[in-house]
Amino acid sequence: MKKIPEGFPKEFLWGGAFAANQMEGAYLEDRKGLCVSDINEFRDDISIEKKYNKEMTRKYVLEALKSKNRIFPKRTGIDFYHTYKEDLKLLGKDGLGLKSYRTSINWARIFPNGDDKEPNEKGLKFYDNLIDEIIKNGMIPMITMSHYEMPLNLTLKYKGWYSKEVIDFFSKYGKVLLDRYHDRVKHWIIVNQINLIKHESFNHLGVAEDAVENVIEAKYQAVFNEMISCAHITKYSHDNYPDVKIGMMFSGGPAYPASGKPEDVFAAMKHNQMEYLYGDVLLKGFVPGYAYHYFSDNNINIVITKEDEEILRNHCDFLSFSYYYTMLCSKESYENGNEVFRNPDLPANPWGWSIDPLGLRILLNEFYDRYQCPIYITENGIGLYDKLENEEVRDTYRPDYYRKHIEQMKEAIKDGVDLRGYYAWAPLDIVSCSSSEMSKRYGFIYVDLDDYGNGSGRRIKKNSFDWYKKVIETNGEVL
C-alpha cells in the first residue's frame, strides 16, 4: 500500500502575495497612465459592509478624475515604488524568509493608454529592477499580468473587456512581458481572480454600466473576450518559452447548500459550476454545456466563434486560487440572480468574511478532483484591525487563523492533492482592495499609515512575524 505523504513537499513554496495597485503608489511617475484602481475611493461615511468595489459608471469615472478633495489611496499606496529594495530585504532570506514573492505588473505602467503602439521603457525598467531584487533576496517571482490595473483609457475610449479590440491590446501586453522577463520569471498568472464578475467587476473588466445596454450580458461577453486573450498568451508562451508555466486563478470559496433539501443542493451545485466555468475553459480548453444552458435560461447571448473555440484549446499549466471565506446558496438565492449569502454558523471578521479552515481542504479536493494539475494557493489571510502600542502589534489572533488553515492544507496533501505553494496575503500591510482603507490589515509587518495617508510610513514587525518565519524555516512543521 502506498504511504500517504507526511507534511509539505521539500520544494514547497512558502510565499507572500501582493498587487501593484495596492502598494506601489507613484501613480503618474515615469509616464505611467491612470488605471482603474486609481479611482477607487476611500469613504468614511458609509458602513463597513458596504465598502467594496462593484459597478461604476463613466459619469463616476469622469467626476473622479476632476475631483480635488476626494481620497484615492491606491494612488499613493505604501510608496513601494520607492521603498521596494528595503521592503524586499525585510521579506526575503534575511528577513521573513519568504521562498516566493507574488506581485502584479501594472498594465498602465507598460502601456499607459492600453492601445499605445510601443511599451513604456521606463515602466519595463522598473520591473526589471524589481524582479532582479526579488531574486537577489532569495525569492522566486510569481507574476500576475492583470490584477485590477487595466489602463483607464480602455474603459473610456472603448468599453473595457467588452470591446473586442482589448483582446489584441492585452495579448500584445502579455507577449511584451514574456519576451522581457521569461528568463527570470517562470511562473505567471495571467488574470487575478478571473471569476469575480460581480464583486470587483469594474476593476476586473473595466465595463462601465452606463456604457452597455445589458450589464450582465456585457460582463459575460467581456470575460470570454478576456479568456480568449489568455489563450493567445498561453499559446505564445508554450510556443516560445516551454520552460515557463502559465496559470489561471480563481477567487476560491465554495458555496454550501443552505439546507439538506435537494433543491438547495442543486442550487449550490449550479452556482459553483458557474464559478468553476473559468477553470473549465482555461484548464480543460472548452466551454462546458452547463454554461450554455445557464446563458439560455437567463437570456444571455454570448458570441463565441469557431476560431475562438480553437484558440481556447491552448490551456494553462497550473491552477491557483485565493481563499478567504465560504458562503451559502439556496434555491431562492440562486433564482435571485445566482446570489449567495453568509453562513451564520461561522465566525467572521469585522467585514463579514466568514472564517472556515475546513472549507479550504474541501476546495483543494474539489479543484484537484476536477482538474488534476498542480495547485498553488496564491492568496489567503485575514483582514483585521491592528493596534500599534509602544512600538508593538500584539496580533496573537493572526497565527491562530493561519495555523488552522495550514493544518487543513496538510490534510489535503494527505488526500493526494498536488499542492505546490502557499502565498499569504499580504505579509506587508497595503491598501485594502475592496474598501481602499489601510485599517483593514493583513500583514506580518505593520505600515504606519492611516486611511487618509497620514503617518510616517515606517515598517514595524508585528508579533506574528517571528511565528510565520518559523513556519517557513520548518517547512510547516512548527505551527
Three-state SS sequence of 398-410: HHHHHHHHHHHHH
Q: Which residue has the cell 461615511?
A: 45
Q: Which residue has the cell 466551454?
A: 287
Per-residue DSSP letter, 387: -
Cell of 380: 489567503
Tens of pLDDT along 225-239?
A: 999 999 999 999 999
Amino acid making up residue 103 = T
> How far apart (Å, rounded) are the C-alpha atoms in residues 17 and 442?
11
Cβ contact 122:30 at 8 Å: yes
Spatial neighbors of 390 by CB under 8 A, at least 6 apart, are none
Cβ contact 78:72 at 8 Å: no
pLDDT-based confidence at residue 48 (cuts at 50, 70, 90): low
- Closest listed residue to residue 438, CA positions, set 425, 454, 424: 454
Spatial neighbors of 316 by CB under 8 A, at least 6 apart, are 190, 230, 234, 246, 247, 248, 282, 283
Cell of 228: 480568449
Active-site annotation holder among 133, 149, 200, 379: 379
Burial of 324 (0-12, 13-18, 19+ CB in 10 A): buried
> How far apart (Å, rounded) are the C-alpha atoms in residues 419 and 421?
6
From start to end of 157-244, where are the E strands? 187-191
Q: β-pairing, 419-425 with 327-329?
A: unpaired
Beta-carbon-side half-sphere exposure of residue 470 (alpha carbons within 13 Å):
11
Cα dihedral: 140, 145, 149, 153 (round 10)? 150
Count CB neighbours of 214 within 10 A.
12
pLDDT at 4: 84
pLDDT-based confidence at residue 54 (cuts at 50, 70, 90): low
Length of the chain: 479
pLDDT at 218: 95
pLDDT at 6: 84
Beta-carbon-side half-sphere exposure of residue 69 (alpha carbons within 13 Å):
0
Asked which of 3-12, 47-56, 399-408 is least confident by mean pLDDT, the reply is 47-56
Burial of 289 (0-12, 13-18, 19+ CB in 10 A): exposed
Element (H, E) at 309: helix 306-311
167-192: average pLDDT: 98
The chain-wide mean pLDDT, for the chain, equals 95
Q: Is 379 a catalytic residue?
A: yes
Q: Percent of the chain, pLDDT > 90? A: 92
Tens of pLDDT along 281-305?
A: 999 999 999 999 999 999 999 999 9
Residue 321's SS3 state is strand
pLDDT at 141: 98
Beta-carbon-side half-sphere exposure of residue 224 (alpha carbons within 13 Å):
21
**In the chain, what's the furthest Cα-to-Cα distance?**
69
Across the strands, what pairs with 441? 384
Cell of 334: 440562486
pLDDT at 49: 61
Residue 304's SS3 state is coil
Tens of pLDDT along 291-349?
A: 999 999 999 999 999 999 999 999 999 999 999 999 999 999 999 999 999 999 999 99
> How far apart (Å, rounded) are the C-alpha atoms in residues 178 and 186?
9
- Which pTM was predicted? 0.96
With b meaning 16 or more CB within 10 Å and e meaning fewer, what string describes 223-246?
Answer: bbbbbbbbbbbbbbbbeebeebbb
pLDDT at 43: 87
Cβ contact 236:178 at 8 Å: yes
Element (H, E) at 256: strand 255-257
pLDDT at 336: 93
- Closest listed residue to residue 343, CA positions, set 357, 353, 351, 333: 353
Cα–Cα distance list, 52 to 36, 46, 91, 201 (Å): 14, 11, 28, 11
Cell of 150: 487595466
With b meaning 16 or more CB within 10 Å and e meaning fewer, what string describes 447-479?
Answer: bebebebeeeeebbbbebbebbbebbeeebeee
Amino acid making up residue 121 = E
pLDDT at 454: 95
Cα–Cα distance list, 323 to 46, 104, 288, 358 (Å): 26, 18, 24, 11
Asked whether the predicted pLDDT for residue 53 surpasses 70, the reply is: no
CATH number given to 13-473: 3.20.20.80
Asked whether the predicted pLDDT for residue 52 surpasses 70, the reply is: no
Tens of pLDDT along 103-139?
A: 999 999 999 999 999 999 999 999 999 999 999 999 9
